[in-house]
Structure 1
Amino acid sequence: MRAIVQQAFGGPEVLKVTEVERPDPLPTEILVRVKAIGVNPVEAMIRSGAFPLHGEPPFVLGWDVSGVVEHVVPGTSRFREGDEVFGMPLFPRAAGAYAEFVAAPSRHFAHKPSSLSHAEAAAIPLAGLTAWQSLVEIAEVGPGQRVLIHAGGGGVGHLAVQIAKARGAYVITTASAAKHTFLKELGADEVIDYRTADFAETVSGVDTVLELIGGDYADRSLRTLRPGGLLVTAVARADAELAARTEESGRRFAGVSVEPDHVGLDALAALVDQGLLRPHVDRVLPLESAYAAHELIEGGHVTGKVVLEP
């Protein structure tokens, strides 16, 4: 099969199409013929060596997949051959999703919503599960709560806005001016242009902040939280000093590391079926243009997700 293999850390140019052996599924696993692959910022960090999660190259990046079940190992009961599925298998271990086939545990996948294309479905898993686990499982966002979501136009952010609205929250988000109309259409109640306004000066009484940017955003966000409010961060999740400062300010702290979860995927699919969640695909590129997908991601101006198709 074809896969995108990198032999060294470096820029997007290290991502090369290579012929490799098709994976053999183990007991409890399925073999998926990949139809689309979601590209995430964490993969660019791994590629560059800034976040060497997979150790030294060579390796194949990627987790977000949508495709068709090619083979089911006997004894595995969730799917049948021919089923359309989507998922984020094995994270944070290497899943090798930038490829034509992926083998992984069946319970890391869910049935693809029939109303979505494979490209749209591949845009959901990592970003959608991050948002779901942050807002629903950790923060328990509910009706009438005020939620501040940073980077609302990004992969996680644009899904988080929709999930929070589906839960009945009042949603405030930060984004560049070019994305304001898009975010209003997704249901955001307030959109703040981070380039012209300081959200920490204009937002207050927030129940939950979902911080997805890093830098000083977490500390500035503490000023927007009500006493007892919750800061959820996917960036500084292991920052003990930030956690201490948050607790000292009378607020609560939670770091989130996204986990594979078919229950969460089923919940996201249900929101799609109810018309409450729709992933936005900024660009679809062929597998061999993985380098161009990384250039777009690192440019910082993508709305929603970039997707590859084998």
Structure 2
Amino acid sequence: MTDFKVGDEVIAVSGVAHRTGCLANFVTLNSAFVAHKPQNLTFAEAATLPFDSLIAVDALHAIAKIKAGDRVLIHHAADEIGQFAMQVAQRAGAEIFVTERLEKQNFLQSQGIQRVMNAQTHDFAARILALTNSAGVDILLNTLSEEFIDTNLAVLAQDGYYIDLNFAGVQDRQKITQTRPDVHYAHYEFDVKDTLETRPDFVRTTLLHTVQEIEAGTFQPLPYTLFPITDVSSAFHFMAQGKNVGKVILALPTSARAPGNFGRNEPSELSINADSAYLITGGPDRLTLDIADWLVQQGARHLIMVARDGAISKLPKAAVHKLEAAGAQVVVIDADLSAPQDIERVITTAGASLRGIIYAADSFANSLLPNQTTAQFEGGFASNVQGAWNLHLATQALPLDFFICFSANPPLMDSQAMTGLQGRAIDSAISAFLDALAHHRRALGLPAHSINWSGWAEAPMSAEAGNRATWAQTENSAITPEMRLQLLDIILTQPDAQ
């Protein structure tokens, strides 16, 4: 072996001789099935490439002989094979039609795919025939059940290719070939071990070609949902529910990737990518500006800052110019995240590259519970809780690296808080909800942290005048701006949800 040395960052395709694949402490394999990791990808992004690129290339090129101008229908296009098949088809110059479940269609549309149809009904046939002047599609990549056979055949052009990725019984195959003898039918089963043994040149060539296309920017890594290796059960549960868009990735601790370090239970690595977008809500105040600055220092180049009721207009232009001078693109949005239409607008603006969310609750008028009005409650508790929940629902299918909620020291019941920050009951209730949301997301296999901050050393811009003296009184024990960024850097690599 001359192409690799100890310490090289690599990607690989492994067989399943022991039914574990790469779910093992050590993997030994032929160097022909290894390639250098693209330098522009994180390990998690690189892990999305090898397996599905082989399937997509094999199915569309080796079997269907795809060419420019072909019309291709890809069912369940938000799944991992569908995601790579779209890229292979686009690279070949084909015209793409896709189907997906309703809850995943927005994701595909955010990728620029225009012809997105429902994978759960038979309506896609009529629409495709209308869009193609009854010509249909030349290649069909199928993952639908046998009840859709007739519908699939109805949209497949003369001499078209029907590539079935599902388990197909003998009767299904006979029905297809007898109903449409002109169709080139292939029941496709990709056996990794068999392919490595019988077609090593194909594996090697495709793996190297994929890396080259990634480095050239022609192919993109697949979207993914990340789980720590210590939480394998949640990863499989999440995948079994069909909630994933793209891949489900198991992440090793950072230290385990160094030569000689295996299986250590260390904190995970927080990945901030220049090609990704990051959403910050709340404020604007010193906290959100510091967080924005911190993200840019970590390598972020696309920020979306959101606040409601016109508060975003108070964002100092000098602060935005500072972020832009550091190389960041900053988009500011006046939006109420408790309103569904505003949530949709924010997520659409962020696009498919959204990888991180920092949710800082909006400020509002606090008072003792007996003095609370309905307007105060709705403007504080209801809007912040509903906003966080809406954001959670709207991004469940996105491959986020982090979803961070800022809450208060639970539930602000230390003696100093009780005597100083009076009238903060709604703050405490909001914090309790954000903590529960973080645990709920973890139970679903989604990334989440809820950070229970204690008092700040400086009063927020939005603090009520009556409480500013209290912030000053707690200064000796409170967190300074410098401290909170240092703590944030540490906290976000920890496995705990709260």
Normalised by the size of structure 1, how large is the TM-score? Answer: 0.69
Equivalent position to 2:189, from 257, 280, 288: 257
2:84 is the alignment partner of 1:159: yes
Amino acid in the other structure paired with 2:83? H
Equivalent position to 2:227, from 282, 285, 288: 285
The DSSP-based 3-state class of the residue aligned with 2:27 is strand
Kindly tell me the number of residue pairs found equivalent between the two proteins.
Answer: 234
Instruction: Specify whether residues 102 and 218 from structure 1 end up closer, same or farther in structure 2 by C-alpha distance, changes over 3 A only.
Output: farther
Amino acid in the other structure paired with 2:51? L
1:203 matched to which residue of 2?
128
Amino acid in the other structure paired with 2:251? E
The DSSP-based 3-state class of the residue aligned with 1:220 is helix
1:97-121 superposed Cα distances (whole Å, 9 cap, x missing partner) = 1233211122222222221111111
CA positional deviation for 1:295:
0.7
Say whether the 8 Å CA contact 1:158–1:183 is kept in structure 2: no
The DSSP-based 3-state class of the residue aligned with 2:73 is strand
Which sections of structure 1, spanning at least 5 residues, go unmatched?
A: 1-75
Say whether the 8 Å CA contact 1:170–1:189 is kept in structure 2: no
2:167 is the alignment partner of 1:242: no
CA distance in 1 between counterparts of 2:143 and 2:89 reads 15
CA distance in 2 between counterparts of 1:149 and 1:163 reads 11
CA positional deviation for 1:157:
0.8
Equivalent position to 1:297, from 229, 232, 239: 239
Amino acid in the other structure paired with 1:295? H
CA positional deviation for 1:247:
2.8
2:353 matched to which residue of 1?
none
2:216 is the alignment partner of 1:216: no
2:117 is the alignment partner of 1:175: no
1:132 matched to which residue of 2?
57
Normalized per residue, which structure has more strand? 1
Amino acid in the other structure paired with 1:119? A
2:443 matched to which residue of 1?
none
Instruction: Specify whether residues 122 and 80 from structure 1 end up closer, same or farther in structure 2 by C-alpha distance, changes over 3 A only.
Output: same
Higher RCO (C-alpha 8 Å, min separation 6): 1
Amino acid in the other structure paired with 2:93? G
Structure whose CA Rg is larger: 2
% same residue: 28
Instruction: Specify whether residues 92 and 149 from structure 1 end up closer, same or farther in structure 2 by C-alpha distance, changes over 3 A only.
Output: farther
Normalised by the size of structure 2, how large is the TM-score? Answer: 0.44
1:133-155 superposed Cα distances (whole Å, 9 cap, x missing partner) = 11122112111110000000011
1:272 matched to which residue of 2?
214
1:225 matched to which residue of 2?
156
Which sections of structure 2, spanning at least 5 residues, go unmatched?
A: 130-135, 197-202, 253-498
Instruction: Specify whether residues 94 and 137 from structure 1 end up closer, same or farther in structure 2 by C-alpha distance, changes over 3 A only.
Output: same
Amino acid in the other structure paired with 1:158? Q
**Which aligned pairs between 1:102-121 and structure 2 lie closer than 5 A?**
102-121=27-46
1:69-106 superposed Cα distances (whole Å, 9 cap, x missing partner) = xxxxxxx3443322222122115763541233211122
Amino acid in the other structure paired with 1:292? S
1:214-247 superposed Cα distances (whole Å, 9 cap, x missing partner) = 343344311110110000112236x443333333
Say whether the 8 Å CA contact 1:158–1:304 is kept in structure 2: yes
Aligned Cα RMSD in Å? Answer: 2.2
Where has structure 1 moved over 6 Å in runs of 4 or more? Answer: none
CA distance in 2 between counterparts of 1:195 and 1:247 reads 24
**Which aligned pairs between 1:65-80 and structure 2 lie closer than 5 A?**
76-80=1-5
CA distance in 2 between counterparts of 1:213 and 1:264 reads 27
Normalized per residue, which structure has more helix? 2
